[in-house]
Structure 1
Amino acid sequence: MSKRTIKKIAIIGSGIMGSGIACHFANIGVDVLLLDIIPRELNDAEKAKNLTLEDKSVRNRIVNNSLTTALKSSPSPIYHQKFASRITTGNTEDDIAKVANVDWIMEVVIERLDIKKQVFEKLEKYRTPGTLITSNTSGIPIKFMSEGRSDDFQKHFCGTHFFNPARYLKLFEIIPGPHTSTEVLNFLNSYGEQFLGKTSVVAKDTPAFIGNRIGIFSIMSLFHTVKEMDLTIEEVDKLTGPVIGRPKSATFRTVDVVGLDTLVHVANGIAENCKNDEQLSLFKLPNFINTMVENKWLGSKTGQGFYKKTKKDDGTSEILSLDLNTLEYRSVKKANFATLELTKTIDNVADRFKVLVSGTDKAGEFYRKSFASLFAYVTNRIPEITDDLYKIDDAMKAGFGWEHGPFQIWDAIGVEKGIDIMKLEGLAPASWVQDMLASGNKSFYTVKEGATFAYDIQKKKQEKVPGQDAFIILNNIRKPNEVWKNSGVVIEDLGDGILNCEFQSKMNTIGGDVLAGLNKAVDLAEKNFQGLIIGNQGANFSVGANIGMIFMMAVEQEYDELNAAIKYFQDTMMRMRYSSIPTISAPHGMSLGGACELSMHADKVVAAAETYIGLVEFGVGVIPGGAGSKEMALRASDMFRKDDVELNTLREYFLSIAMAKVSTSAYEAFDLGILQKGKDIIVVNKDRQIATAKAHAKLIAEAGYTQPLKRTDVKVLGKQALGMFLVGTDAMQNSKYISKHDQKIADKLAYVMAGGDLSEPTLVTEQYLLDLEREAFLSLCTERKTLERIQHMLKKGKPLRN
Structure 2
Amino acid sequence: MAKKLLVRRAAVLGAGVMGAQIAAHLTNAGVDTVLFDLPAREGDPNGIVTKAVANLAKLSPAPLADKALAERIVPANYETGLELLRGCDLIIEAIAERMDWKQDLYRKVAPYVPGHAVLASNTSGLGINALADVLPEELRARFCGVHFFNPPRYMHLAELIPARSTDPAVLEGLEAFLTTTLGKGVVVAKDTPNFIGNRIGVFSMLAAMHHTEQLGLGFDTVDALTGPAIGRPKSATYRTADVVGLDTMIHVIRTMADTLPDDPWHAYFKAPKWLTALVEKGALGQKSGAGFYTKRGKDILVLDLKAQDYRPSAGELDPEVGAMLKEKDPAKKFAALRGSGHPQAQFLWSIFRDTFHYSAFHLAEIADTARDVDFALRWGYGWSLGPFETWQAAGWKQVAEWIAEDIVAGRAMSNAPLPDWVFDGREGVHGAKGSFSPVRNADVPRSSNPVYARQRFPDPLLGEKFSQGRTVYENDGVRMWVDEGEEIAVVGFKTKMHTVNDQVLAGLREAIAIAERDFRGLVIWQPKEPFSAGADLAGALGLLQAGDLAGFEKMVADFQATSQRIKYALVPVVAAVRGLALGGGCEFQMHAARTVFALESYVGLVEAGVGLLPAGGGLKELALRASEAAGPGGDVFAQLKTAFESVAMGKVSTSAFEAKSLKLAREADVVVFNSHELLHVAKQQALALAESGYRPPLPARRIQVAGDVGIATFKMMLVNMLEGRFISPHDYEIATRIATVLCGGEVDRGAFVDEDWLLRLEREHFVALAQMPKTQERIAHMLKTGKPLRN
Task: Please give the TM-score of this superposition, normalised by the length of structure 1.
Answer: 0.90
Match of 1:473 in 2: 457
Alignment pair present for 1:653 and 2:643: yes
SS in 2 for 1:381: helix
Match of 1:90 in 2: 76
Structure 1 unaligned residues grouped into runs of 5+: 41-52, 312-316
**Distance of 2:748 and 2:79 partners within structure 1:** 68
Match of 1:534 in 2: 524
Match of 1:295 in 2: 281
SS in 2 for 1:172: strand
Match of 2:6 in 1: 5
**Distance of 1:435 and 1:492 partners within structure 2:** 42
**Distance of 1:701 and 1:343 partners within structure 2:** 54
**Distance of 1:778 and 1:429 partners within structure 2:** 67
1:718, 1:756 within 8 Å by CA — same for their partners in 2? Answer: yes
**Distance of 1:791 and 1:382 partners within structure 2:** 52
1:531, 1:701 within 8 Å by CA — same for their partners in 2? Answer: yes
Alignment pair present for 1:738 and 2:720: no
Indicate the larger mover: 21-30 or 453-462.
Answer: 453-462
Match of 2:757 in 1: 768
1:357, 1:367 within 8 Å by CA — same for their partners in 2? Answer: no
CA drift of 1:87 comes to: 1.3
2:102, 2:131 within 8 Å by CA — same for their partners in 1? Answer: yes
SS in 1 for 2:364: coil
2:325, 2:333 within 8 Å by CA — same for their partners in 1? Answer: no
CA drift of 1:337 comes to: 4.2
Query: 2:89 is matched with which residue: 95, 100, 103?
Result: 103
**Distance of 1:364 and 1:575 partners within structure 2:** 55
Equivalence map 1:116-155=2 (5 Å): 116-155=102-141
2:369, 2:444 within 8 Å by CA — same for their partners in 1? Answer: no
Match of 1:394 in 2: 375
Query: 1:413 is matched with which residue: 394, 402, 405?
Result: 394
Query: 1:214 is matched with which residue: 175, 186, 200?
Result: 200
1:343, 1:352 within 8 Å by CA — same for their partners in 2? Answer: no
Query: 2:267 is matched with which residue: 271, 281, 297?
Result: 281
Closer, same or farther in 2 for the Cα pair 1:557/1:283, shift >3 Å?
Answer: farther
SS in 1 for 2:359: helix
**Distance of 1:508 and 1:546 partners within structure 2:** 9
2:250, 2:276 within 8 Å by CA — same for their partners in 1? Answer: no
Count of residues paired in the alignment? 769
1:244, 1:353 within 8 Å by CA — same for their partners in 2? Answer: no
Match of 2:600 in 1: 610
**Distance of 2:626 and 2:347 partners within structure 1:** 57
CA drift of 1:443 comes to: 4.1
**Distance of 1:68 and 1:584 partners within structure 2:** 37
Equivalence map 1:587-602=2 (5 Å): 587-602=577-592
Indicate the larger mover: 418-427 or 62-71.
Answer: 418-427
1:30, 1:86 within 8 Å by CA — same for their partners in 2? Answer: no
Indicate the larger mover: 243-252 or 650-659.
Answer: 243-252
Equivalence map 1:305-320=2 (5 Å): 305-311=291-297, 317-320=298-301
CA drift of 1:382 comes to: 1.8
**Distance of 2:726 and 2:325 partners within structure 1:** 41
Could you tell me which amino acid in structure 2 is paired with residue 274 of structure 1? L
Closer, same or farther in 2 for the Cα pair 1:110/1:344, shift >3 Å?
Answer: closer
Note the alpha carbon deviations across 1:336-374, whole angstroms, 9 max, x for none. 44368659999xxxx674564355675654443332222
**Distance of 1:295 and 1:417 partners within structure 2:** 46
1:621, 1:789 within 8 Å by CA — same for their partners in 2? Answer: yes
2:481, 2:489 within 8 Å by CA — same for their partners in 1? Answer: yes
**Distance of 1:188 and 1:658 partners within structure 2:** 44
Indicate the larger mover: 153-162 or 273-282.
Answer: 273-282
CA drift of 1:654 comes to: 1.7
Structure 2 unaligned residues grouped into runs of 5+: none
Note the alpha carbon deviations across 1:438-473, whole angstroms, 9 max, x for none. xxxx343346xxxx8334442534634544322010
Note the alpha carbon deviations across 1:647-669, whole angstroms, 9 max, x for none. 22123322221121222211121
Match of 1:38 in 2: 39
Closer, same or farther in 2 for the Cα pair 1:319/1:523, shift >3 Å?
Answer: same
Match of 1:43 in 2: none
Could you tell me which amino acid in structure 2 is paired with residue 357 of structure 1? F
Alignment pair present for 1:749 and 2:734: no
Equivalence map 1:378-393=2 (5 Å): 378-393=359-374
1:189, 1:202 within 8 Å by CA — same for their partners in 2? Answer: no
Could you tell me which amino acid in structure 2 is paired with residue 472 of structure 1? R
CA drift of 1:524 comes to: 3.5
**Distance of 2:347 and 2:698 partners within structure 1:** 62
Query: 2:49 is matched with which residue: 59, 63, 67?
Result: 63
Match of 2:220 in 1: 234
Closer, same or farther in 2 for the Cα pair 1:541/1:743, shift >3 Å?
Answer: same
CA drift of 1:434 comes to: 2.7
Closer, same or farther in 2 for the Cα pair 1:391/1:443, shift >3 Å?
Answer: same
Could you tell me which amino acid in structure 1 is paired with residue 361 of structure 2? N
Closer, same or farther in 2 for the Cα pair 1:763/1:72, shift >3 Å?
Answer: same
**Distance of 2:379 and 2:627 partners within structure 1:** 43
Indicate the larger mover: 90-99 or 162-171.
Answer: 90-99
**Distance of 1:607 and 1:344 partners within structure 2:** 36
Closer, same or farther in 2 for the Cα pair 1:789/1:2, shift >3 Å?
Answer: closer
**Distance of 1:505 and 1:226 partners within structure 2:** 41
Could you tell me which amino acid in structure 2 is paired with residue 702 of structure 1? E
2:4, 2:173 within 8 Å by CA — same for their partners in 1? Answer: no
1:368, 1:421 within 8 Å by CA — same for their partners in 2? Answer: no
Could you tell me which amino acid in structure 1 is paired with residue 765 of structure 2? A
Could you tell me which amino acid in structure 2 is paired with residue 85 of structure 1? E
CA drift of 1:137 comes to: 0.9
CA drift of 1:246 comes to: 2.7
Indicate the larger mover: 188-197 or 697-706.
Answer: 697-706
1:792, 1:798 within 8 Å by CA — same for their partners in 2? Answer: yes
CA drift of 1:744 comes to: 0.5
Closer, same or farther in 2 for the Cα pair 1:294/1:355, shift >3 Å?
Answer: farther
Indicate the larger mover: 536-545 or 113-122.
Answer: 536-545
Could you tell me which amino acid in structure 1 is paired with residue 445 of structure 2? E
CA drift of 1:104 comes to: 2.4
**Distance of 2:238 and 2:553 partners within structure 1:** 48
2:469, 2:483 within 8 Å by CA — same for their partners in 1? Answer: no
2:560, 2:615 within 8 Å by CA — same for their partners in 1? Answer: yes
CA drift of 1:324 comes to: 4.1
CA drift of 1:401 comes to: 2.1
Alignment pair present for 1:246 and 2:219: no
Could you tell me which amino acid in structure 1 is paired with residue 390 of structure 2? I
Note the alpha carbon deviations across 1:82-137, whole angstroms, 9 max, x for none. 22232111222222333233222222111111111111111123333343222111
SS in 1 for 2:726: coil
Match of 1:502 in 2: 492
**Distance of 1:625 and 1:255 partners within structure 2:** 46
Equivalence map 1:557-572=2 (5 Å): 557-572=547-562
Match of 1:321 in 2: 302
2:556, 2:615 within 8 Å by CA — same for their partners in 1? Answer: yes
1:105, 1:132 within 8 Å by CA — same for their partners in 2? Answer: yes
**Distance of 1:298 and 1:545 partners within structure 2:** 45
Equivalence map 1:575-724=2 (5 Å): 575-678=565-668, 680-724=669-713
1:220, 1:282 within 8 Å by CA — same for their partners in 2? Answer: yes
Could you tell me which amino acid in structure 2 is paired with residue 184 of structure 1? V
Task: Please give the TM-score of this superposition, normalised by the length of structure 2.
Answer: 0.91
SS in 2 for 1:110: coil
Indicate the larger mover: 403-412 or 363-372.
Answer: 363-372
Could you tell me which amino acid in structure 2 is paired with residue 665 of structure 1? S
2:224, 2:315 within 8 Å by CA — same for their partners in 1? Answer: no
Closer, same or farther in 2 for the Cα pair 1:676/1:354, shift >3 Å?
Answer: farther
SS in 2 for 1:97: helix
Could you tell me which amino acid in structure 2 is paired with residue 8 of structure 1? R
Closer, same or farther in 2 for the Cα pair 1:183/1:337, shift >3 Å?
Answer: same
